[in-house]
Structure 1
Amino acid sequence: MKKYALITGASGGIGAATAFKLAHEGWNLYLHYYRNETNILELIEKLKVFNIELIPICADLTTEEGIHQVCNSVLNLNAIVYSSGVAPYGLFTDLSEQTIDDMLQLHVKSPLIIVQKLLPKLMKYPESSIVLISSIWGQTGSACEVMYSTVKGAQISFMKAISKEIARSGTRVNCVAPGAVKTNMLNGFSEEELDVLESEIPIGRLAEPKEIADVISFLLSKDSSYITGQVIGVNGGWYT
């Protein structure tokens, strides 16, 4: 039987790594993106070697129209990986109301509505799975990333609640909470700042996107069939 997964934010570091991992395992993929069309086209070209279905979806998930565009583009579905996100850095008092609204829409309302609208498709199958990419800051909070910490914490609360509500349906819901990962989110940090960051992590280095993708793949597989409602930290021992 063909398997279909929706990956939001597929043009980003974690999203693209997840697409490679799932493609290698034979998943057919809906690849959501917004601004990074070049990245998504390059990704699709690289994934063609796996002989799977690749369906790009361009949508702005900070808008109502974008959310519904994603939902309306999906037919068969066995899994959702919600990997969309941005992380503005700075004092909370300096954030504009528009930034706050956009963060709430992208990180909270969008995954809630996408899951709500697509659950009937997932529940057609005896087993299906949802993975939300939260963050270490959703678990413990971070100064200068107050809004990001808030919305990532909300994702964790949503996951814990919805996983209980739908557990008997056969659809599992979990969160992956990465620490510091080598993606574009760290582009604003200097080499010196990254060195300090690495020194704070017990393992002593940043995560590779593939290491996050491996955990996502596990949570979508039958090997994790008794795991739901959990936050899996992938942070090198930075937060335990």
Structure 2
Amino acid sequence: MAQYIISGGATGIGAATVSALRSAGHEVFVIDLQGGDYQADLADADQREGAIRAVFEVFPDGIDGFVPCAGLGPAARPLSLITKVNYFASVAMTKALLPLLEMKAGAIVLVSSNSASMAGTDQSYVEMLLNDDEDAACRYVQETDGHTAYAGSKQALTRWMRRANTDIAATGIRMNAVAPGITRTLLTDKVLADQALGKAMQDFGDTVPLGHLAEPNEIASVICFLLSRGASFMSGTVVFVDGGHDAMLRPDSF
């Protein structure tokens, strides 16, 4: 039995991942805003630290994996929440839990997005994130829009993963990222219902090459694989689980 930590594990992709891991006999500790084993608003640095302390208290002998699945979509307001949760909380918690992961040569699976690689991402915003300038990034993003906030946060998270991977891999920890396409979750429902974003999201969903949106369990199965020993030689990889969208949009990039 392995021991895993998942943030954002009460709904959507996180909940599907929790269910799959528990069905396989593993222990999963869930951190979420509502529900789970520890409740915390990960946009708040103090509550984030509290969640980290709780993990160290419950699992002093190490953990087998961490999935920072907590995230907000482009319909969330204020936009700075997207910045704080999607990027800064994911990176801060990953860094903080490295000592526990090293004890068991564990695995990290970050949750990116196929929007992270799309053209037109605001590079000024992305650089603020990568430079760890949370205050500046939060101020800047307030003057943009939901897509900019979301896509930029996911691109920065993916680039951070690629940059940090060599040093983390040297400790025996595997770190990879899954990049979902549009998935049927409560987060997606909010975007589809948004007056400004809904039509564009629906139109984009209609172009998925496989002809349908993903279900949470289809993303969760890939996350579980990346956590498993079956992916023992995968490190620093971004796995697109988007029904062929990335290949359609970037046929010559891989």
TM-score of the two chains, using structure 2 as the length reference? 0.78
Superposed CA deviations along residues 179-221 of structure 1, whole A, max 9, x for unmatched, are 0101012213269877644430100000010000000010001
CA distance in 2, matches of 1:193, 1:62: 27
Root-mean-square deviation over aligned CA pairs: 2.1
> Relative to structure 1, is the Cα distance of residues 239 and 57 closer, same or farther in structure 2, using a 3 angstrom cutoff?
same
Gaps of 5+ in 1: 41-55
Alpha carbons 1:138, 1:149 under 8 Å: kept: yes
Q: Is the CA contact 2:83–2:150 (under 8 Å) kept in the aligned structure 1?
A: no
* Structure 2 unpaired stretches of 5+: 122-145, 248-254
User: Secondary structure of 1:206's partner?
Assistant: coil
Contact 1:5–1:77 under 8 Å retained in 2: yes
Aligned residue for 1:132? 110
Residue number in structure 2 paired with 1:47: none
209, 213, 220: which one aligns with 2:216: 209
Which string of whole-angstrom CA distances, capped at 9 and with x for unpartnered residues, describes residues 10-55 of structure 1?
Answer: 1121000000111122211111111x33xx4xxxxxxxxxxxxxxx
Contact 1:32 1:58 in 2 (8 A): yes
Cα distance change, pair 165–14 in 1 and its aligned pair in 2 (3 A)? same
Q: Does 1:82 align with 2:89?
A: no
- CA separation in 1, counterparts of 2:203 and 2:222? 26
**Hey, what's the Cα distance between the residues in 2 that align with 1:175 and 1:215?**
10
In the other structure, the counterpart of 2:231 is: 224
Scaled by the length of structure 1, the TM-score of the pair is 0.82
Kindly indicate whether the alpha-carbon contact (under 8 Å) linking 2:7 and 2:70 is maintained by their aligned counterparts in 1: yes
Kindly tell me the number of residue pairs found equivalent between the two proteins.
213
Q: How big is the shift at 1:135?
A: 0.6
Partner of 1:57: 38
Aligned equivalent of 2:161: 159
